[in-house]
């Protein structure tokens, strides 16, 4: 068995189901294009059992289901709401599960620039999961930890990208009544190595911790070991200043699989889908500055979790949610610019290739627009 026999490289989402299932632990994740991680099989240890191939969600597509309804919502506790990404739905679900004696698995941003899925069992530690990390989270051996918890009859909430939820479900191979899966609406993930290289460059190696969003303020904030903020760049107000964030927003640095993602559609693989409620009618009274969650219950179990959580909910139509959020309709587009970027990568590196591909837009923004403003034309 080789890595590309598990599934084709352009389809591999890096969900790590194969890595978790291998009985000989002979699969490692190694960097490929744009430093994204792909499975590599140690031929000396492999016994050709093909469990990695069988467990891959690319080879065995999960059944997907259309949402039961849609809610615009936010955490009813103002403090929790303001410290979350969109409306704090993920935090509200996590609190519900922990109050029931369960455990939560989600992506934590950790000092030392690590972004990995971790197990949280108490309310105080939930803060570690808060906030979107615009990078691919490291799953490690989390799926096998989830299985152990499920077998010990603990209630488990797993929060992740759709491909990670699919990876977990494929790995488990059967439904568990005590498992809740919540997936994020996702437009694609850059690799951790790409982010680390960038952070080290902009901070001369001082970066220790980062955040990507505070409500609707989409800004990269970088902190050093003492907790002092050493860098801030808002991706919209300071367009093109931060190359990592700009390239992420413009869809240049995702995995190849993100451009053909099978989960970027209204039908979903989890119990609840959450994201930003973009396109929410302005007749709905909500805090548009600090964000609003789009909450799509997919299963009855998911619906109950939504209703029992500390959320202020306004029922909307699924069509409104889907219309406002392109990731619920189709994957990110691999535009001609992205294709050119990928062919320039090996020669120029990611930063320079991105700037070259956006040169016309950067020129318009930095040169043409200020001239027009001055001339008032």
Stretch 88-117 residues interacting with ligand FAD (CB under 6 A)? 88-91, 106-107
Pairs from 96-101 (Cβ < 8 Å, separation ≥ 24):
96/305, 96/308, 96/309, 96/310, 97/155, 97/156, 97/157, 97/180, 97/305, 98/122, 98/123, 98/126, 99/123, 100/155, 101/154, 101/155
CA distances from 159 to 45, 69, 120, 168, 252 (A): 32, 20, 11, 10, 25
In angstroms, what is the minimal distance from the CB of 107 to ligand FAD?
3
Give φ, ψ of 246 to 5 degrees. -65, -45
Stretch 137-176 residues interacting with ligand FAD (CB under 6 A)? 137, 159-161
Question: Tokens representing 220?
Answer: 């990269």
Instruction: Find the radius of gyration of the CA atoms of the chain.
Output: 21
| Of 23-31, 132-140, 306-314, 315-323: span binding ligand FAD (CB under 6 A) | 132-140
Which of 12, 18, 55, 129 contacts ligand FAD by CB under 6 A? 129
User: CB of 6 within 8 A of CB of 18?
Assistant: yes
Nearer to ligand FAD by C-beta: 29 or 89? 89
In angstroms, what is the minimal distance from the CB of 213 to ligand FAD?
7
In angstroms, what is the minimal distance from the CB of 197 to ligand FAD?
18
User: CB of 204 within 8 A of CB of 231?
Assistant: no
In angstroms, what is the minimal distance from the CB of 317 to ligand FAD?
17
Nearer to ligand FAD by C-beta: 41 or 258? 258
User: CB of 182 within 8 A of CB of 270?
Assistant: yes
- DSSP class of residue 365 equals I
Stretch 321-340 residues interacting with ligand FAD (CB under 6 A)? 325, 327
| Of 139-147, 217-225, 235-243, 274-282: span binding ligand FAD (CB under 6 A) | 274-282
Question: What is the Cα–Cα distance from 371 to 377, expressed in whole angstroms?
Answer: 9
In angstroms, what is the minimal distance from the CB of 161 to ligand FAD?
5
Question: What is the Cα–Cα distance from 207 to 200, expressed in whole angstroms?
Answer: 6
Which of 130, 255, 286, 337 contacts ligand FAD by CB under 6 A? 130
Question: What is the Cα–Cα distance from 134 to 127, expressed in whole angstroms?
Answer: 17
In angstroms, what is the minimal distance from the CB of 130 to ligand FAD?
4
User: CB of 39 within 8 A of CB of 6?
Assistant: yes
- DSSP class of residue 294 equals E
Question: Tokens representing 313?
Answer: 């909910």
Which of 146, 179, 186, 292 contacts ligand FAD by CB under 6 A? 186
Nearer to ligand FAD by C-beta: 208 or 276? 276
Query: Per-residue x/- marks for ligand FAD, 189-218, CB under 6 A?
Result: x-----------------------------
The yes or no reply on residue 286 touching ligand FAD (CB under 6 A) is no
Nearer to ligand FAD by C-beta: 13 or 84? 84
Q: Which residues of the chain form contacts with ligand FAD (CB under 6 A)?
A: 84-91, 106-107, 129-135, 137, 159-161, 184-187, 189, 274-276, 293, 325, 327
């Amino acid at each position: 068995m080789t890595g590309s026999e598990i599934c084709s490289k352009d389809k591999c989402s890096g969900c790590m189901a194969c890595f978790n299932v291998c009985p000989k632990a002979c699969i490692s994740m190694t960097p490929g294009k744009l430093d994204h991680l792909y499975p590599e099989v140690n031929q000396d240890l492999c016994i050709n059992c093909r469990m990695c191939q069988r467990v891959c969600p690319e080879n065995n597509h999960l059944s997907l289901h259309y949402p039961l309804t849609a809610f615009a919502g936010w955490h009813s506790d103002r403090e929790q709401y303001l410290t979350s990404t969109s409306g704090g739905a993920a935090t509200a679900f996590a609190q519900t599960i922990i109050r029931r004696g369960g455990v939560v698995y989600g992506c934590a941003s950790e000092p030392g620039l690590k972004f990995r899925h971790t197990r949280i069992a108490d309310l105080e530690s939930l803060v570690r999961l808060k906030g979107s990390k615009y990078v691919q989270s490291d799953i490690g051996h989390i799926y096998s930890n989830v299985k152990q918890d499920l077998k010990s009859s603990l209630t488990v909430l797993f929060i992740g990208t759709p491909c990670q939820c699919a990876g977990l479900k494929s790995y488990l191979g059967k439904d568990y009544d005590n498992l809740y899966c919540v997936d994020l609406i996702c437009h694609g993930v850059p690799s951790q190595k790409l982010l680390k290289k960038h952070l080290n460059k902009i901070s001369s190696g001082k970066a220790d911790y980062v955040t990507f969003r505070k409500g609707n303020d989409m800004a990269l904030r970088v902190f050093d070991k003492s907790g002092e903020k050493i860098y801030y760049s808002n991706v919209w107000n300071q367009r093109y200043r931060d190359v990592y964030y700009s390239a992420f927003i413009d869809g240049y640095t995702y995995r190849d699989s993100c451009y053909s993602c099978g989960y970027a559609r209204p039908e979903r693989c989890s119990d609840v889908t959450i994201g930003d409620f973009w396109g929410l009618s302005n007749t709905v009274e909500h805090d548009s500055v600090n964000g609003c969650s789009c909450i799509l219950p997919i299963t009855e179990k998911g619906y109950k979790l939504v209703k029992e959580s500390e959320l202020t909910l306004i029922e909307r139509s699924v069509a409104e949610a889907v219309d406002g959020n392109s990731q619920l309709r189709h994957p990110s587009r691999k535009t001609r610019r992205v294709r050119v970027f990928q062919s320039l990568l090996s020669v120029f590196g990611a930063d320079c290739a991105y700037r070259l591909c956006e040169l016309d837009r950067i020129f318009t923004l930095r040169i043409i627009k200020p001239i027009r403003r001055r001339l008032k034309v």
